[in-house]
């Protein structure tokens, strides 16, 4: 783990000052849980845009004595914290040196045993491909009390910012969330790809960029419609967000040609077609023209 640059030694940003003023505290944080010494809170930091933080998350950050945060967390979120607290980076990036999961859990335990209020800040939601369950069980084994604060997962928030609804009743009544790699970094062969291809109306894939070509090949081999809508969303909900829309048979090749890099989501399903009518962010920032009938065949 490494300390974050400028780790809580300078002046707090104005947003932090505003949110800790008496007038805001009384209305925003009254009645919310008090962070007790010796506890660990596993907190979801949302998909990227700090405006998507929950009030519980901000309440936790402003009370913490120590924060251990992940790679996908927007570091400006740390401005909500008190000055001079301990802040440690424990992020993981595919192929790069990073702390072992067990070492992170042991660090949380050690800090809690020191009597600190320990905040484990994770991107998205702790229990959606966030290893939050593993860390929580480690705390249980060490008899360290904990609390879990949910966050907006990228598979929901990221699609929304791309103008792609996870569900639309004219298209789907179910959604499948899956990870694009297993614990070894390989494509998850334990998944029943045939069942997913045939039974999942919409598929949302986390961390699938590395194996996207292999995954789409399996879906196609299992009979998935090659012309079905597909999209890749990189850096979802952030100012760097980029969206590539294609179809299932072409999405892997077009993604490789585009040069898009992780972190990214991939969604397969005809909800992707809804983007022509629901890309509210493109309308707001680029003046994109939207259609009220995105499912109508194009002439």
CATH for 28: 3.40.1010.10
Q: Where does 114-183 have alpha helices with state H?
A: 132-141, 154-161
What are the tens digits of pLDDT across the range 217-231?
Answer: 999 999 999 999 999
Residues 181 and 200 in one domain: yes
Q: What's the domain range around 116?
A: 2-152
Residue where a domain stops, chosen among 152, 177, 200: 152
Residue 92 among the catalytic residues = yes
Span of 4-8, 89-93, 199-203, 225-229 with lowest mean pLDDT: 4-8
User: What's the total number of domains in the chain?
Assistant: 2
Task: Report the pLDDT value the prediction gives residue 297, as an integer from 0 to 100.
Answer: 85
Residues 143 and 70 in one domain: yes
Residue 23 has pLDDT above 70, yes or no: no
Residues 135 and 200 in one domain: no
What are the tens digits of pLDDT across the range 28-38?
Answer: 888 999 999 99
* Closest CA relative to residue 157, chosen from 237, 277, 72: 237
Residue 70 among the catalytic residues = yes
Residue where a domain stops, chosen among 152, 168, 199: 152
Does residue 293 form part of some domain? no
| Cis status of the peptide bond prior to 290, with omega within 30 of 0 | no
Residues 63 and 123 in one domain: yes
Residues 279 and 210 in one domain: yes
Catalytic residue among 1, 12, 49, 92: 92
Does residue 98 form part of some domain? yes
What are the tens digits of pLDDT across the range 165-192?
Answer: 999 999 999 999 999 988 888 898 899 9
Task: Report the pLDDT value the prediction gives residue 99, as an integer from 0 to 100.
Answer: 87
The residue that leads in pLDDT, 186 or 54, is 54
Catalytic residue among 65, 116, 187, 207: 207
Residue where a domain stops, chosen among 152, 184, 217: 152
pTM to 2 decimal places: 0.88
Residues 16 and 72 in one domain: yes
Residues 139 and 159 in one domain: no
Residue 209 among the catalytic residues = no
Residues 138 and 184 in one domain: no
Residues 223 and 206 in one domain: yes
Residues 245 and 281 in one domain: yes
Does residue 268 form part of some domain? yes
* Closest CA relative to residue 7, chosen from 86, 124, 119, 61: 86
Residues 74 and 182 in one domain: no
Confirm if 226 and 220 have CB atoms less than 8 A apart.
yes
Residues 19 and 148 in one domain: yes
Residue 45 has pLDDT above 60, yes or no: yes
Does residue 37 form part of some domain? yes
């Amino acid at each position: 783990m490494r300390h974050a640059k400028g780790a809580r030694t300078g002046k707090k940003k104005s947003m932090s000052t505003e949110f800790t003023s008496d007038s805001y505290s009384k209305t925003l944080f009254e009645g919310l849980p008090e962070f007790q010494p010796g506890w660990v809170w596993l907190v979801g930091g949302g998909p990227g845009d700090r405006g998507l933080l929950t009030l519980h998350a901000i309440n936790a950050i402003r009370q913490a004595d120590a924060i251990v945060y992940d790679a996908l967390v927007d570091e400006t979120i740390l401005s909500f914290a008190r000055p001079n607290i301990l802040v440690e980076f424990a992020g993981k990036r595919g192929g790069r040196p990073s702390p072992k999961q067990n070492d992170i859990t042991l660090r949380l335990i050690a800090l809690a045993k020191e009597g600190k209020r320990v905040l484990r800040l994770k991107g998205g939601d702790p229990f959606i491909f966030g290893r939050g369950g593993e860390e929580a069980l480690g705390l249980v084994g060490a008899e360290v009390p904990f609390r879990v604060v949910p966050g907006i997962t990228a598979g929901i928030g990221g699609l929304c910012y791309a103008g792609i609804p996870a569900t639309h009743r004219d298209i789907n009544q179910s959604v499948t969330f899956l990870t694009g790699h297993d614990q070894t970094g390989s494509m998850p062969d334990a998944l029943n790809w045939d069942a997913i291809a045939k039974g999942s109306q919409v598929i949302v894939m986390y961390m699938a960029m590395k194996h996207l070509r292999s995954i789409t090949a399996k879906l196609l081999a299992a009979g998935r419609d090659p012309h079905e809508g597909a999209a890749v969303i990189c850096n979802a909900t952030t100012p760097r967000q980029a969206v590539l829309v294609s179809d299932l048979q072409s999405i892997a090749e077009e993604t490789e040609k585009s040069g898009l890099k992780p972190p990214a989501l991939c969604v397969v399903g005809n909800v992707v077609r809804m983007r022509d009518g629901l890309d509210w962010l493109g309308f707001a920032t680029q003046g994109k023209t939207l259609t009220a009938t995105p499912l109508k065949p194009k002439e």
